[in-house]
Structures are given as C-alpha cells and as structure tokens.
Amino acid sequence: MPARVSLTRYLVEQQRVDGRIPPQLRLLIEIVARACKKISHAVEKGALGDVLGSAGTDNVQGEVQKKLDIIANEELIEANEWGGHLAAMASEEMEGIYVVPNRYPQGEYLLLFDPLDGSSNIDVNVSIGTIFSVLKKPDGSNHGVSEQDFLQAGARQVAAGYCIYGPQTTLVLTVGDGVAMFTLDREQGSFVLTQEDVQIPEDTKEFAINMSNMRHWDAPVKRYIDECLAGKEGPRGKDFNMRWIASMVADVHRILTRGGIFLYPWDKREPEKPGKLRLLYEANPMSWLVEQAGGMSTNGKQRILDLQPTKLHERVSVILGSKNEVERVTSYHR
Ligand code: AHM
Ligand code: MG
C-alpha cells in the first residue's frame, strides 16, 4: 500500500519542488487547517457542546449570527494571530479588518474567511464549512496594513480553499497547482491526501439554484433554467436533475466531485445589490478552486477572478461549475 501523504508532507513537497509555497505560506495553511480541525470538533458536538442556535447578535450584513459563526470566527483569529505569517485578517462576520496585534510579529500575508458558511444548515445537521482565501500584502505598503490592501482581484490569490464539515471533514485546497482534497483522519488527528488533480467534467446534467427565487430572476437566468426544466423534449435534448443544499461549500464540493453548475444570480428582490454572495470570502476562493479544476466561474458577464473589489463586504452574482454550462449561461447574458 502506498504511504499516506499528510497535508504537512504535501505542503513540504510543494515547497521543495519549485518553491511554489514559501515557508510562511506553508505555516499559514497548516494553521488554518488546525483551526478547521477545532471547528470540526465543535460542529460534531452539536447540542452536547451547546454550540447550536442563535448568538442573539447581528453581523455587519444584518444577518443573525449563530453561536457557531462566532466560535468559528474566534478559532480562526486565535489560531492565526501569533504565528508571524500574517499582517491582518478579514471575515464575513467582522465589520472591519483585524490587524495582527503588535505584541506579535507582522507577516506579509492577508487571510480572508467565511468562518462558517451555510449557517442556516447548522441547526439541522446538514453539511457546512469554512471558506478561506490568502492574498499577499501589496508591495510598497510598508506602512502598516489597511482595508485597501485587501481589495485585490481574485486572480492574485496565493492560496484558497474550504473545509467541509459533513459525513467526513474534508479540506480542499489550491495553491495554483490544481486542486487537492484531504480527509480528516480523526484517529490520527491529521488531514490525509485523498484526491489530487481534481477535475470537473465539462458537461453536466445537474444544476443548483434556489428555485424559490425564480420570479425575481433576470431573463438570461430564467431562460437557462427553463431550458433545463424542459428536459429531453426541450432545446437541450436531455433531462436535468436539481440539487440545492443552501451551503455553498456543499454545493461546490458536489460540483468538484462529479460536475454540475451552481448559480446564485443577481435578482430583483434587492436590485441595488449585485448578488447575495460575498466576492472576497466566497466567490473568489471558490472561483479559483473551480478554475483550477478545469471549470469556469463568472458573474454572468465577466470572469469573477478579474473583478476589482471596491469594498470589503462586496457582493457578487455567481455562476460556476462545468465549463460548457457556465459558458452557455454567460453567453445568454451577452
Ligand atoms: P452564509 O455565509 O451566511 O451561510 O450565507 C451563504 C449561503 C451559501 O452557503 C448558500 O449558497 C446560500 O447562502 C444559500 O442562500 P439561500 O438560503 O438564499 O438559498
Ligand atoms: Mg457564506
């Protein structure tokens, strides 16, 4: 039987091969993984750990915070602030950026996260996850760190991934050399490489969208879904299946595993908002993973990774997954 490759070994080998991962970035990814392990334990305890339910507070987006949203946010901050690899962090659950306190050394990386994605699924025991993205502090910004430093296009990410807390806990990672998946071995307490070079099939018969919003969609999205629903008798000439987990991590994990298309488009409910999902914490890391696995990701008009963010909590319309389907929906917008 071939030797098991741990996350640590995978990262050390990535560092050795062509210096793809500098030591500080390797440390950062390991620490994020360690925090995810702790979050996974908290999730697993559920009612026994008194972690379910609402925390009685709202976040910056006006959404009710769950206890686990806050626990996960704190785990990520505590795990990452002392290592010397980071300059600052930004989170979906915090209004402003969190600058590493000056009692610790300052590093050159910026960490962004959605500490617990799929919050509405926490209490019903359905898969949820942590999404993260890593940027480098722009050159020349030697005078501390500001929110402006985080406003970089997704194409400039140096690492991105998520950890899904489902039947298994799986960490999915890219550092720009394809996508690798690591399953948590609970007995050993370590992440073990279980899939490398993840590839999303170019075609699919599976779509994911919140159908209850149909009456609010824009014409191109409506057209695309109508054609899928028409099945074999319609213009697509094949039957489609639908899945909607309402945890982006779980929907994207399915797509990385067997293909499919995911849409959370702009809709008329809140016309001034470009979409529901957050560009920096959700769309960018997921888009890079999907592209690294041979898929495609757009906001209907442009490649998401090329969008220049204008604010920390910016929202965006998201269409990602199997290349030919994303290409089709995007062409309907032209
Ligand atoms: P969250 O980060 O507060 O959990 O919100 C993001 C989630 C995504 O995971 C998911 O795709 C979407 O919101 C589900 O939204 P809806 O409940 O409108 O279907
Ligand atoms: Mg989220």
Task: Look up residue 208 and give its two tokens.
Answer: 């994911």
Please, what are the domains in the chain?
Answer: 7-195 (3.30.540.10), 206-333 (3.40.190.80)
Ligand 2 centroid from CA 232, angstroms: 34
The ligand minimizing its distance to the Cα of 120 is 1
278-299 pLDDT tens trace: 999 999 999 999 999 999 999 9
Q: Is 118 one of the annotated binding-site residues?
A: yes
User: Contact at 8 Å (CB) between 172 and 161?
Assistant: yes
**Atom of ligand 1 at shortest distance to CA of 118?**
4
Give the residues surrounding ligand 1 with Cβ less than 6 Å away: 63, 92, 114, 117-120, 210, 246-248, 264
Judge if pTM exceeds 0.95. yes
Please give the average per-residue pLDDT across 174-203, as a whole number. Answer: 97
Give phi and psi for 292, each to the nearest 5.
-65, -20
As a whole-number percent, the residues of the chain with pLDDT over 90 amount to 90
Q: Is 54 annotated as a binding residue?
A: no
Which H helix or E strand runs over 169?
Answer: strand 169-174
Residue nearest to atom 7 of ligand 1 (CA): 118
Ligand nearest to the CA of 131: 2
Tell me the CA distances in angstroms from 230 to 172, 183, 244, 265, one per residue in order.
Answer: 34, 38, 19, 20
Residue-wise pLDDT tens digits, 219-265: 999 999 999 999 999 999 999 999 999 999 999 999 999 999 999 99
